[in-house]
Chain A
């Protein structure tokens, strides 16, 4: 019997990479998707199979982290061995504008899922393994480097909500003996990152500027430093956490930090351009409270999981630039053939 996994946030960057990884390991994968008026499954369309197909291994369920009853039903139907909670309102800047919604989905949503799993465990005598996507934003204003021993100091409604979810996960492990792990992941990027996140915003602009579709790139705090890895590597760490004998929390990071300026400089250089000619600072993109410097100290973590990042900073910047160069090329081709193309994201100029 192959194992079954349930993923919330399967339509996101991490969810799509994790689904790929688990399908390759012969898991049956169930994903929770929200009902929206437009399709949100772009990142997993290549994995989708008609559920009528007897060989189908990927199943999608409508659900929402704000709906406890629905979550219980999905778990009952999917009967997972492992649950990965990657669903969240995951944008830090947006969390300032939608603090309460972020709290409800990113914070209390995790609790709803944990409670649904606890009830399922009790009814069925099972011990489902749970992964909670914790975040380096929980460290916020804490001085670098940040490790498992660093006290949290979240600096955004997103970070505060993630701290809440973190402790609920720890409490379910300690109070009810659940196999529940937090992975405190530092920034992890890829060509699948949403276009409003700074790395993707930069590489998207590099492609479009190179193709003559955009003139300027407006960014917030260029001096913010982050520890950046590749999402494809990081989902492997999530999987490994749930294969250990005992549950615990882990910090997943590369141990190297670069500034937003470093990232922009390299991304533009890969397309033979100088970022100074195109990048301008717009204070509108500053956060009300900035997080200046996140640098992960994985400590003994990586050894415990026998995991290390495979993709270097250079490599993933290149992968993102190449992917977005191709996207911009397609956009340019369509425009030259007189197709109507809306250049999404350009609106923030």
Chain B
């Protein structure tokens, strides 16, 4: 049976991808940082999907080529999924250098370690719709020029081109998935979707009275992370490596998201939500919507969860969380896929 190695396995996408691969009989290895955070905190996402005991974890640092090489030798993966990143756009403005090193440079360390130790492995790079930033056309396709508007976006552009270069220069089976926003109850709370749905659950429970957000007019193409990890897997099953936009093709404003989330619990968002200019990004990204035609044609992939379902799903998971109803949170997550 095949073996997969996942960086960023403790994150949202890593956990969903690990679950998908385990269900298909893969041996799944994950890279975790060798810091001293408690396992309960580190492995929270894996535990939420009840797979924390089914994956094999190895300690390595993304900026340390030697440690990556060791893990690649030990695990001998057929497929490598590079999902690790400093993934918060907002934080990237505060820590641009660290973001550049972790989200950008480290991909070279990993590609190089793969080339030297496991040259026939297939490689997936988590590219991002943030690379389009101030998008030059709408919707965005694989051919739309990039215009990143944040240190995170610029780092992802760097990682994207290095992956393409390893494919073109050295013939590596390396593919980039340009994923548009994809959400789930495993998103950390500082991301806007979870910030909203957590607030809705807390307001409904009487634990919170208001919600302060940044720019409500930003428009995003939001899908479900559980659907998107399937596209990652499909890319590495193709004979030839390539780059794909993974998106729903539908655009909604943050205002719509908020309005719908409050409706789920029968509330009117206008009574609770304020927009604070201090939370705007230094450089805003406006309408981002992806054209998923190539993924549909070549991978046979399409998103299953619709926007309305997604919002409802996120709100319900947070309502259960607020009630500290752990077993039901797991139930909700399993039901969703």
Contacts and interface: CB of A to CB of B under 8 A. Distances in A.
A163 B157 contact: yes
Interface stretch (B24-32, B97-105, B326-334): B97-105
Interface in B75-130: 93, 96-97, 100-101, 104-105, 108-109, 112
A168 B151 contact: yes
Contact of A164 (B93, B109, B155, B170): B155
Bin chain B's interface residue count. 20 to 34
A157 B168 contact: no
Given A151-B145, A167-B154, A168-B151, A175 B282 contact: yes
* Secondary structure dominating the interface of B: helix
A289 interface: yes
Contact of A154 (B165, B170, B282): B165
A157 B165 contact: yes
A307 interface: no
Contacts of B148: 167, 171
Interface residues of A, number: 32
Contact of B112 (A100, A156, A175): A100
A74 to B, nearest CB: 17
Contacts, number: 94
A111 B96 contact: yes
Contact of A103 (B105, B145, B146, B149): B105
A100 B169 contact: no
Contact of B169 (A96, A104, A164, A167): A96
B66 interface: no
A289 B104 contact: no
B108 A100 contact: yes
B65 interface: yes
A111 B311 CA distance: 38
Contact of A160 (B101, B147, B158): B158
Contacts of A10: none
A346 interface: no
B293 interface: no
A156 B164 CA distance: 10
Contacts of B150: 171, 175
B158 A161 contact: yes
A151 B165 contact: no
Contacts of B158: 103, 107, 160-161, 163-164
Nearest to A150: B145
Given A115-B96, A160-B158, A108 B105 contact: yes
Given A107-B100, A107-B105, A168-B154, A157 B162 contact: yes
B283 interface: yes
Contacts of A99: 108, 112, 162
B18 to A, nearest CB: 28
Interface in A142-175: 151-152, 154-157, 159-161, 163-164, 167-168, 171, 174-175
A108 B169 CA distance: 23
Nearest to A112: B97
A289 B163 CA distance: 13
B151 A103 contact: no
A113 to B, nearest CB: 11
A68 interface: yes
A67 to B, nearest CB: 12
A7 B168 CA distance: 35
A183 to B, nearest CB: 18
A38 to B, nearest CB: 28
21 contacts: A96-B169, A99-B112, A99-B162, A100-B108, A103-B105, A107-B100, A107-B158, A108-B97, A108-B101, A111-B100, A112-B97, A152-B145, A152-B146, A155-B165, A157-B162, A160-B158, A163-B158, A164-B155, A164-B157, A164-B158, A176-B282
